[in-house]
Structure 1
Amino acid sequence: MAETKDVQHHIVEIPVTMDHEKQIMSALEAIQDHPLMEISESPGHLLLLKLWQREEDLFGRRISQREKRLDTIRSEIFHLCLFFLAFHGFFFTILFTSFENSTSDNFSCRKKWWVPMIVNLCTSCMTVFLVHMKLCRYWKVYGDMQRERNESRALTRCVQELRMKGASFDLSKEWASGKRMKSSSVEIKWNVLSLCSRYLVTVWLVGVMGLAAVACRFMTCA
């Protein structure tokens, strides 16, 4: 025999005190007085905020692309240096083997020593030139990236100021008012020391190239 049970619905009333109502009203007033609410109610400030946020996103993308480009250039320079060292190792191995198995006198030394040296210098000069061009490109991209980072920081500060001030923010203010941030870490001093530090790889390759030319003469006429 089925038993039926009466389901009773109980409604619990939560008493709302005056203090609770005041807290709710103050919270609503605080939300309405918030700068972001003021910006959402002002078409000019809202449009400016959206434009600046879009520029922030574009700056971030460009900086990310330049960082990837720097990584690519570093990899290319590394591979060129490896080719430079591998070429000299292979070149001197062949040179040593060929002249060790041949009879050489003073006449053949005077006649043949410049041939391997010219081959070595031509290949070395081409490699050093390519490395130097890659280094120039690297520092150009690096300088552009640092400039965009500084501009991105200036834009971010203006966006934060707009969010804090709300409708009281001056719409005529420009984030890039012709003044660029100057940082002592980014500022470049074009002197001999800084150039040597920037193009240290080129200086090292030129030194190795000079030593290789002397070694060609020595190994040919030894």
Structure 2
Amino acid sequence: MSEASMESKPPPHPLRQIAESATHKLLLKQWLKEEELLLRRVALRETRLDAARRETTGLFCAFFVFHSTALLLLFSSASDAPAPRTCHRSWIPCLLSLLSSLGLIWAVRYKGDTEKVLERMLEREKEDALLLGKCVGELRKKGAEFDLLKEVDALRRAKSLRVEAKAAAAVRRWSGRDLGIMALFAAACGAVALTRFVLCS
């Protein structure tokens, strides 16, 4: 009777198995610390990405505020001066407008590249956090039966397959940043033409 009851006794809970195994207990503690560190890094990347996006928006606003103010000043000054004289020197404000526009466009492009880098790093760290979270979940679920090499290798293969699928599906296409750069360049050309028109009309 006692032998039958011992045979039918259910196995201990996986968490208890982990607590009784020094190796699994240490592994769980280490993974939990790494998971917390990864989540902090993800939050930091998201904060930096938001800051970069705000700076890009500020550059767009500065571009249009600069040209609006410059055109208003040119229009008010051109109305007080004779047209031939202002038209003769119109290349100076046109050149300044073009150089300023190119500088702002370069800054927007640089910030856009920074956003791309931050987005890739954020995506990679989210993938790592997801992989580590799955490992922790499997360890808690299986307890002492958790095979470190087998489980982690399977999860890494699944992650690499997802990355390969994303790389295969990713084709070069026009993004919002590219369209924004083109819009800024078109606006810069329009500002130069409008400056010439204001000074020579």
TM-score of the superposed pair, with normalisation by structure 2: 0.85
**2:132 is aligned with 1:155:** yes
Q: Which residue of 2 aligns with 1:49?
A: 28
Q: 1:59 aligns with which of 38, 43, 46?
A: 38
Distance in 2 (CA, whole Å) between partners of 1:124 and 1:73 is: 20
**2:57 is aligned with 1:78:** yes
SS at match of 1:33: coil
Richer in helix (by share): 2
**2:139 is aligned with 1:141:** no
- Select the structure with the greater relative contact order (CA < 8 A; seq sep ≥ 6): 2
**Are the structure 2 counterparts of residues 36 and 167 from structure 1 closer, same or farther at C-alpha, using a change threshold of 3 Å?**
same
Distance in 2 (CA, whole Å) between partners of 1:133 and 1:67 is: 18
Q: 1:116 aligns with which of 93, 97, 103?
A: 93
Distance in 1 (CA, whole Å) between partners of 2:103 and 2:166 is: 32
SS at match of 2:191: helix
Distance in 1 (CA, whole Å) between partners of 2:164 and 2:183 is: 28
SS at match of 1:101: coil
Distance in 2 (CA, whole Å) between partners of 1:133 and 1:157 is: 36
Give the structure with higher Rg (CA): 1
SS at match of 1:182: helix
Q: 1:189 aligns with which of 146, 166, 170?
A: 170
Superposed CA deviations along residues 3-45 of structure 1, whole A, max 9, x for unmatched, are xxxxxxxxxxxxxxxxxxxxxxxxxx76x71000001111111
Distance in 1 (CA, whole Å) between partners of 2:111 and 2:28 is: 39
Distance in 2 (CA, whole Å) between partners of 1:158 and 1:169 is: 10
Q: 1:203 aligns with which of 182, 185, 197?
A: 182
- Contact (CA 8 Å) 2:15, 2:143: kept in 1 or not? yes
Q: Which residue of 2 aligns with 1:38?
A: 17
Distance in 1 (CA, whole Å) between partners of 2:59 and 2:148 is: 52
Distance in 1 (CA, whole Å) between partners of 2:26 and 2:183 is: 54
Q: CA RMSD in A?
A: 2.5
Q: Which residue of 2 aligns with 1:165?
A: 142
Task: Give the letter aligned to residue 189 of structure 1.
Answer: A
Q: Which residue of 1 aligns with 2:6?
A: none
Q: Structure 1: 5+ residue runs without aligned partners? A: 1-28
Distance in 2 (CA, whole Å) between partners of 1:45 and 1:55 is: 15
Superposed CA deviations along residues 147-174 of structure 1, whole A, max 9, x for unmatched, are 1111211111111111111101113343
- C-alpha deviation, 1:209, in angstroms: 0.6
Q: Structure 2: 5+ residue runs without aligned partners? A: 1-8
- Contact (CA 8 Å) 1:151, 1:180: kept in 2 or not? no
- C-alpha deviation, 1:197, in angstroms: 2.7
- Contact (CA 8 Å) 1:39, 1:167: kept in 2 or not? yes
**Identity between Structure 1 and Structure 2 (%):** 32
